[in-house]
Copies of this chain bind each other. A is one copy, B any other.
Amino acid sequence: MRWIRFTINQQTSYGILQDEHIQRVKGSPFEGYEKEEVYYPLKSVQLEVPVIPRTFYCAGLNYAEHALEVARKAGKEPNLPPRAEIGYRANNALIADGQTVVIPRDATEKIHYEGELVVVIGKKAKNMTKENALSCVLGYTIGNDVSERTWQKMDRTLWRAKNSDTFKPMGPWIDTEFDPTHSITTVKVNGIEKTIYKTNDMIFDVPTFIEAMTSYMTLWPGDVIWMGTDGHSPDLVSGDVVEIHISGLGTLTNPFFKEPLV
**A interface list, Cβ under 8 A from B:** 52, 54-55, 57, 60, 81, 83, 85-88, 90-93, 104, 126, 155-157, 159-160, 163-165, 213, 216-220, 223
Contacts and interface: CB of A to CB of B under 8 A. Distances in A.
Given A85-B159, A157-B85, A157-B86, A92 B165 contact: no
Contacts of A159: 85-87, 213, 216-217
Contacts of A88: 88, 90, 157
A217 B163 contact: yes
Given A54-B91, A60-B157, A156-B81, A216 B104 contact: yes
A219 B163 CA distance: 12
Q: Is the interface of A mostly helix, strand, loop or mixed?
A: loop
- Counted per complex, copies of this chain come to 2
Contact of A155 (B85, B157, B219, B220): B85
Contacts of A93: 217
Given A85-B157, A88-B90, A165 B54 contact: no
Nearest to A126: B165
A90 B217 contact: yes
25 contacts: A52-B54, A54-B92, A55-B90, A55-B91, A55-B92, A81-B156, A83-B155, A85-B155, A85-B157, A86-B159, A87-B159, A88-B90, A88-B157, A92-B217, A92-B219, A92-B220, A92-B223, A104-B216, A126-B165, A159-B213, A159-B217, A160-B217, A164-B216, A164-B217, A165-B216
